[in-house]
Structure 1
Amino acid sequence: MKSLIVTNDFPPRAGGIQQFVHQLALRRPEDSVVVYAPRWKGDRAFDAAQPFPVVRHPTSLMLPEPSVLRRAREIARAEGCDTVVFGAAAPLGLLAPALRRAGLGRAVGITHGHEAAWAQLPAARGLLRRIGDGLDVLTYLGDYTRSRMAAALSPQAAARMTRLAPGVDESVFRAGAGGAEVRKRHGLDGRPVAVCVSRLVPRKGQDTLIRVWPAVRARVPDAMLLLVGGGPHRAELERLVDEAGVRGSVVFTGAVPWRELPAHYDAGDVFAMPCRTRRGGLDVEGLGIVYLEASATGLPVVAGDSGGAPDAVLEGETGTVVPGRSPGAVADAVARLLADPAAAHTMGERGRAWVEREWTWSRQAERFAAVLEGRPPA
């Protein structure tokens, strides 16, 4: 079996979907994958280092149009592919019926958060139904995304849905991954630290953390908030820090290279990202892999209730889910864990065990193999 992966989302372009698709491709057997993806800065050096061929489209975006279909057919024929995988089912999954007619016998579409949003829009909902009808399997991240998409699909397509989520590299995200150096760099030694690793955008809830920080420090006076990541909301968050009078207890790191992220998780005692759904359900968390990376690092998590975020938490065991729009609930959950290191440590240990059991990349690779081969996942 050889698979053609057709995807807009692939490194060196940064992003969670890009890493998801890349990691799945890396774990396929030798000579069983070829990738068709758009041009991106740095792609020549990146592609040369891959154990499989990568064919680049001449532009930075691929749409389900004749030129993309023609090139996908040519690659499939030249490489002897018998299966097509769409790295993001919408919109490129619309090409599936034509590629089937070209000889590709099995078609799989991987979905993320945006397909769940498509299911709510009348025009996009119809396209999602067409995509589902043209595929053998449409994957989903968790219960939330499955239920939202299933309502837009035909009964036959909904019945063929299979769970496939990103994994976590448990050898990289772990306790002792370099947090001591990060703490020293930012003056956090000896202080209880709540850490949030995410882009600085409104949905993620960093603004809520800042607003409730005076209440958290009223219960844990020496607590520090470490906000890791860059993004367009930075200036507004800086303004809120001054407005709340917590400048001395909030640290912004700015954007951090991926290789340094494990150390930044490891610098915290509690992970908190109180995400909330926005724009009438169109801006929603698909899963929240950051919660699982935090769990792998041994941290208890405080997650918002947006979309599929609760799928990444075992309530009361690896952390807790709070209403992202309830400052009181966010403050209480964060302060309670910071004030009780023993309970936080126990939750962190359970989170690590859960990741090792259910969320490793090897586990997700096994599920992907089953999807490609048309057998029930283990």
Structure 2
Amino acid sequence: MRADLPPRRRPIEGAGLNILLLTSEFAPAMGGIGTYAREIAAAASRLGAKVTVVAPDYARQTRDDDRALPFEVARFRGGLHSMRDLPRKIMLARRGVRGDRYDVVHAADWPFFIPVALSRWRTSARVLMTVHGTEINEAQTPLKRIAIRSAGVFGPRTEVVANSRFTETLFRERFTVDPARISAINLGVSEFWFGAPRKRREIRLAYRLPEDRLVMITVARITRRKGLHLTLAALSQLPDNLRQRITWLVIGPDGEADYVDELRRAAGQAACDIRFLGPQPNEAIRDLYAASDFFCLTGLPDTTGRVEGFGLVYLEAGAAGLPSVATEVGGVPDAVLADETGILVPPSVESISLAIAELAADRGLRAILAAGASAHARALSWERCAATTYGLAYASKRATADRAIGTVA
């Protein structure tokens, strides 16, 4: 497990910070943490920082794709994290942080928390660790708590970055850490999602979506905690004349096989136009957003401890001008502002059905919430996220929003 880190160098005067970001999830693997690592590294680079991302290679040739990125990528042999990888990650972090080469060392996800914590004494750099939500609950087992305590993971030199107010609160409840070392910094939205290059009419023709159809779109892994079965049941409760006007597009990879089979069977028996499109590239998702009328994702609390730490997909849909129907779980209320960018409801079939009916039946309400969703997304750029996380200078080019967490004045 070897990372070919670039030659030792000191930060260049006036060129900004020198940042080492370690992540266990990165392209070509799909996932929220991988998106976070790529986007915050790219944004920091645009703001003048020198960034090196250490990431697994997934046993693939990634050199050409990595060269196209605005930062350096050092790959190590590995894939999705296993606890068997921990000793090798510890050696990787120790080798990477030695000396005064970096100003900031950032563990972007929990598999690098212990390795970075054990390497702190080798560097005078700021040490950052980002918590995303689920790993906070998963770290409550006796064995993991002992490991975290023994390694001094959240010790005096560690700064903790939470991706939402919910995640910050959850972390405070689970770990005793000086509040001054914990910050809630919302994620950002890439400029990619603001508008599609193709026209709505053209996209609808391509996907055989009649102009008089109301198109509701969901983008998520088809897994129980994402609550697609609640959305399906809610659609089934709509009045016939409204339900028959709606097409529901479901985009995303399959999750638990039994759940996917159950959902598809139920969808086949429903008197509604439901289309499972599977995983799609971002360009196709952006086009389908432009062809849709509103977004819907109705997650629910998960007994396994997995949580929705933020909900970046709501912001991406909002950037495309879509209001949302969403459930009040985890950090979603930071991504969907109630009655400003969408409709937030409890995770119940009745509440979701009423919200879908209200949004589907009222074009004016959709327009008002769409404007709010777009403005909220514009206030949350990745440059703002990177600047607040690393202390970089930043002059916003987007509209500001009072509720944007992690704002640089």
The 1:73/1:96 distance shift into structure 2, 3 A limit, reads closer
Q: Which residue is 1:58 aligned to?
A: 77
CA contact (8 A) 1:142 1:165 kept: yes
**Cα deviations across residues 7-59 of structure 1 (Å, max 9, x unaligned)?**
10121222111011111111224562112221222422222223332222222
- Give yes or no for contact 1:5–1:34 (8 Å, CA) kept in 2: yes
Between the aligned residues of both structures, percent identity stands at 29
| Paired residues of 2:137 and 2:306 also in contact (CA < 8 A) | yes
- Structure 2 CA distance for partners of 1:125 and 1:303, relative to 1, 3 Å: farther
CA contact (8 A) 2:294 2:322 kept: yes
Partners of 1:197 and 1:141 in 2: how far apart?
20
Q: Are 1:142 and 2:164 counterparts?
A: yes
Give 2:113's aligned residue. 93
SS in 2 for 1:279: coil
1:208 aligns with 2:227: no
- Are 1:115 and 2:135 an aligned pair? yes
Counterpart CA distance in 1 for 2:155 and 2:382 is 29
Task: Answer whether contact 1:119 1:151 (CA < 8 A) is retained.
Answer: no
Residue range with higher mean Cα deviation, 203-212 or 329-338: 203-212
Structure 1 portions without partners, runs of 5+ = none
Question: In structure 1, what is the Cα distance between the partners aligned to 2:193 and 2:200?
Answer: 13
Which of residues 252, 259, 263 is equivalent to 2:283? 259
Equivalent residues in 2 for 1:351-366, closer than 5 Å? 351-357=373-379, 359-366=380-387
For 1:356 and 1:260, how far apart are their aligned partners in 2?
A: 21
Partner-residue secondary structure (3-state), 2:52: strand
Any conservation in 1 of the 2:359–2:366 contact (CA below 8 Å)?
yes
Amino acid in structure 2 at the alignment position of 1:343: L
Matched position secondary structure for 1:200: coil
CA contact (8 A) 2:193 2:316 kept: no
The correspondence for 2:96, drawn from 72, 75, 78, is 75
8 A contact 1:5–1:87 mirrored in 2: yes
- 1:277 to 1:108, Cα distance in 2 relative to 1, 3 A: same
Partner in structure 2 of residue 13 of structure 1: 29
For residue 235 of structure 1, the aligned residue among 222, 242, 261 is 261
- In structure 1, the residue matched to 2:401 is none
For residues 218-242 of structure 1, the C-alpha deviation after alignment (integer angstroms, 9 at most, x for no partner) is 3514122111222134432210112
Aligned counterparts of 1:126 and 1:336: Cα–Cα separation in 2: 50
Q: Match of 1:362, SS?
A: helix
Q: Which moved more, 1:112-121 or 1:268-277?
A: 112-121
Shift of 1:74: 3.0
* One-letter amino acid of the counterpart of residue 211, structure 1: A
Check conservation: 1:6, 1:85, Cα contact below 8 A.
yes
Task: Decide whether the 8 Å contact of 1:197 with 1:227 is kept in 2.
Answer: yes
Give the paired residue count: 369
AA matched with 2:283? R
1:152-204: CA deviation from partner (whole Å, max 9, x where unpaired): 22242x43111223211245333776543442233322211111111111111
Tell me, what secondary structure is at the counterpart of 1:183?
A: helix
- Counterparts of 1:148-187 in structure 2, within 5 Å, are 148-156=170-178, 158-174=179-195, 178-187=199-208
Which residue of 214, 218, 225 corresponds with 2:248? 225
In 2, the alpha carbon distance for the partners of 1:371 and 1:73 equals: 26
Seen in structure 2, the aligned counterparts of structure 1 residues 347 and 176 have a Cα distance that, compared at 3 Å, is farther
Residue number in structure 2 paired with 1:297: 320
Preserved contact between residue 386 and residue 392 of structure 2 (Cα < 8 Å)? no
Residue aligning to 1:37: 55
User: How far 1:349 moved relative to its partner?
Assistant: 0.5
Query: d(CA) in 2 for partners of 1:183 and 1:305?
Result: 31
Bigger share in helix:
1
Could you tell me which amino acid in structure 1 is paired with residue 195 of structure 2? R
What is the CA–CA distance in structure 2 between the aligned matches of 1:68 and 1:38, rounded to whole Å?
10
Question: Mind listing any 5+ residue stretches in structure 2 that lack a counterpart?
Answer: 1-16, 394-405
Counterpart residue number, 2:126: 106
CA contact (8 A) 1:175 1:298 kept: no
Alpha-carbon shift at residue 128 of structure 1 (Å) = 5.3
Cα distance in 2, alignment partners of residues 348 and 118 from structure 1: 36
Choose from 334, 353, 356 the match for 1:334.
356
Q: Given the superposition, is the C-alpha separation of residues 178 and 376 from structure 1 closer, same or farther in structure 2, using an over 3 Å criterion?
A: closer
